[in-house]
Amino acid sequence: MIFTPPAWGPEMMAIPDSTPIHEFLIQRDNRHLYNWSEEKPALTCAVSGQSYTIKTIASRVESLARSLSQELGWTPNDGSPWEKVVGIYSFNTLDFLVASWAIHRVGGICLLMHPTSSAAEIKRHIELTGSRVLFTCRSLLATANEVLSESSVHDPRVYLLDLPDELGAAALPDQGQKTVGQLIREGETLPTIEALQWTPGQGKEQVAYLCPTSGTSGLQKLAMITHHNIIANIIQATTFQAGPKNGKTEVALGFLPLSHSYGLILAHLTAWRGDTYVLHARFDMQAALASIEKYKIERLYLVPPIISALVNNPFLLELCDTSSVTSVVTGSGPFGARLAEALSRVRPSWQVLPGYGLTETAVIISFTDPNATYPGADGHLVPGVTAKLIDADGHEVDSYNSPGELLLKSPSIMKGYLGAESATAEVFDAEGWLRTGDIAVFRHSTANGGTAHLDIVDRKKDIMKVKGMQVAPVEIEAHLSAHPAVAEVAVIGVRDEDAGERPYAFIVRSPKMAEMDEDALRAELNGHVEGALSEPHWLRRNMRFVEALPKSSNGKALKYKLRESLGA
């Protein structure tokens, strides 16, 4: 049974296949769905109040592209895009998108790296892509320089993105690197560069972003997201929302990392819709709440752990005036009916709009129409998406309310994983369906003539979502296994009220260190993990020493039995 979007949605415009992202967003053709104005702020810094209109962004993109062309010897239509891979390793800033689109303007590819990524992860991505150019910020400059010095990259170039003073970045000296502001000022005096000349269909092939993801399993990989993928998802999402929003633009809260696919697509689609995106460098609860009052924010883009924190500490919402808020959009993790009900009790006037997506689908697959909701579900498929479910026996599910692994087709689905052909082959079936690794059901309702609501009910994969970030147990297991005190280890994800999920390790101790005090060993292993892996991988007290791991006949740890032992 093939599941499709609801028939009552607006018709989707044709998706251009030979247009770069920045041209699509800046030129504003066919913008009939929303009441857009090029004079309205598109991005506003939550700290300084500085704003960029789309005209300002366009001018800064062009000037920065001229400077990059001169600095690096790149011209838009010469050379392979894979010779122009540029890393962005930074917290959020107004010029994050400017830098991204300037890279595209000279025919390059953006390699996105999370500020919370470990040095080892960053080094692995840089060496895989051969990137020798990096945009970073002063607070991350030391790590960036360390990684580049230890990598095989020759003649690296580092440029600085200016951040608000809230991170203390201004107090940190640079080492002679040019800032984006300097490059833009220089570019204003340089000659224009040639326009990109793309052939029909080039947007479907040319990679725009390399997005880090753990995929449906395993270590962090780089999803190859094309220009066409991003543009398609912008059109899909905004077409779906155009009916219920009736062309209205909004002021939206933006603290999700632009280095994360969820934050990235939100910044693009709000720009296209004509919304004002109030951007925080990173998440701070009090700062985010204060900005709601200051900027009269109407839409909140959140993740479930933050919603959980708000409903469990409702006094936080009394610290400022939140009367401007009309809706909350949530994704990047499981959002159940109980949490939705709890939020509705705290703020009954807020529309709660869950959605579902993956980095591999760039990003949005389903979204909730406020006029056709289903408790606990993740909304309707957006236009252009088709889905099917495969049950545990490998058969296609042919009815509503029956679970199976969710398989998808969409014009927004990635090309594959860079340098990981076997992983790419595993995630796509022979007919081109993307295997999500998520177990879902489709719930049927009779509203609006009958619609199917996607409901993600479980995970086939082991990947955890910690604060919205994907964490692979295998990475923690591999690191712990290298410690002499560890004979065997298995890591699972457990529910966590604040983070959504957290890793939990079951450890069989090595005989040669069996006499070591458990508390001392716990501290030793925590230090071992925290010294090498980013915070979402940390265990803290989520560690149990066991005599043996339950195993299958082929020697694999039976993680479901470990979950049962915790009552998880």
| Cβ count within 10 A of residue 170 | 13
pLDDT one-digit tens code per residue, 235-274: 999 999 875 455 678 999 999 999 999 999 999 999 998 8
* Model confidence at 317: pLDDT above 50: yes
Domains of the chain plus CATH, in order, are: 54-197 (3.40.50.980), 223-461 (3.40.50.12780), 465-566 (3.30.300.30)
Cα-based distances in Å from 15 to 183, 267, 465 = 33, 19, 31
CA angle 170, 263, 107 (to 5 degrees): 85
Cα-based distances in Å from 83 to 36, 72, 129, 211 = 36, 11, 9, 17
* Model confidence at 31: pLDDT above 80: no
Supply the pLDDT for residue 325: 98
* Model confidence at 32: pLDDT above 60: no
d(CA 562, CA 489) in angstroms, rounded, equals 11
**Angle 95-105/54-72 helices, nearest 10 degrees?**
50
- Cβ proximity of 275 and 32 under 8 Å: no
pTM over 0.75: yes
d(CA 42, CA 97) in angstroms, rounded, equals 11
In 3-state terms, what secondary structure has residue 492? Answer: strand
d(CA 463, CA 219) in angstroms, rounded, equals 10
Confidence of residue 175 (pLDDT cuts 50, 70, 90): low
Q: Specify burial of residue 217 (Cβ count, 10 A radius: 0-12, 13-18, 19+).
A: middle
pLDDT one-digit tens code per residue, 532-545: 899 999 999 999 99
Query: How far separated are the first and last CA of the chain, in Å rounded?
Result: 32
d(CA 212, CA 121) in angstroms, rounded, equals 10
Question: Which has the closest alpha carbon to 208: 115, 304, 102, 280?
Answer: 102
d(CA 16, CA 206) in angstroms, rounded, equals 13
d(CA 148, CA 158) in angstroms, rounded, equals 9
Q: Which residues contact 55 (CB under 8 A, 6 or more apart)?
A: 38, 39
- Quick one: how far is CA 523 from the chain centroid? 32
- Cβ proximity of 76 and 98 under 8 Å: no
pLDDT one-digit tens code per residue, 437-476: 988 999 988 765 568 999 987 666 677 888 888 787 878 8
As a whole number, the mean pLDDT across the chain is 90
Supply the pLDDT for residue 556: 60
Supply the pLDDT for residue 166: 45
The full length of the chain comes to: 568
* Model confidence at 568: pLDDT above 80: no
For 357-362, what is the mean pLDDT? 96
- Cβ proximity of 267 and 97 under 8 Å: yes
Comparison of pLDDT for 165 and 125, the residue scoring more: 125
In 3-state terms, what secondary structure has residue 217? Answer: coil
Confidence of residue 554 (pLDDT cuts 50, 70, 90): very low
Name the percent of the chain lying above pLDDT 90.
66
User: Mean pLDDT highest for which of 61-70, 241-250, 302-311?
Assistant: 61-70
Comparison of pLDDT for 555 and 418, the residue scoring more: 418
pLDDT one-digit tens code per residue, 213-233: 875 445 689 999 999 999 999
